[in-house]
Amino acid sequence: SWQCGCGQAHSLPFEVVGTTGSVTVTLKPAPRGVSLAVGDVAKSLLTLAGVNDAWGFARGNTKTKVNYAMATFDALRMTSRMRVTEEQAKTLNIISGPTGVKYGEAAEQQEE
């Protein structure tokens, strides 16, 4: 999160949006300690995905739980579709990627 200056990896690296039917879910990284500030359906999915701190916003008919769950899952899938360059990783202080690929200084320290 841009509000957290801890310098450690966060479980959700950047804002993602997922849509299914009339439901649109936006997930944003939150500072450490905020926990999951999302609805119950999204909280279940994010917990299973290993996300610890996130803010979530939903639009549309979220009473349709299947669409809400699928939109949340679609937002989580978007985290793997984002491509980050080495320069962006350094600028944004991204320490590790979803597959354990290390970027920047963290990669240099791990090699030593």
Arithmetic mean of pLDDT, 37-51? 92
**HEC letters along 2-57:** CCCCCCCCCCCCCCEEEEECCEEEEEEECCCCCCEECCHHHHHHHHHHCCCCEEEE
Question: Average pLDDT over the chain, rounded to whole?
Answer: 80
**CA distance linking residue 23 with residue 68, whole number of Å:** 6
User: DSSP label at 95?
Assistant: -
Model pTM? 0.73
Q: Sorting pLDDT into bands at 50, 70 and 90, what band is 32?
A: confident
Determine how many CB atoms are found less than 10 A away from the CB of residue 12. 24
pLDDT at 99 > cutoff 50: no
3-state DSSP assignment of residue 66: helix
What domains does the chain contain, in order, with CATH numbers?
1-81 (3.30.230.10), 83-112 (no CATH)
- Name residue 17's beta-bridge partners: 26
pLDDT of residue 57: 94
The total of other beta-carbon atoms located within 10 Å of residue 20's CB is 19
Residue 74 has pLDDT above 60, yes or no: yes
Which of 35-39, 70-74, 100-104 has the lowest average pLDDT?
100-104
Q: Give mean pLDDT, residues 30-43.
A: 89
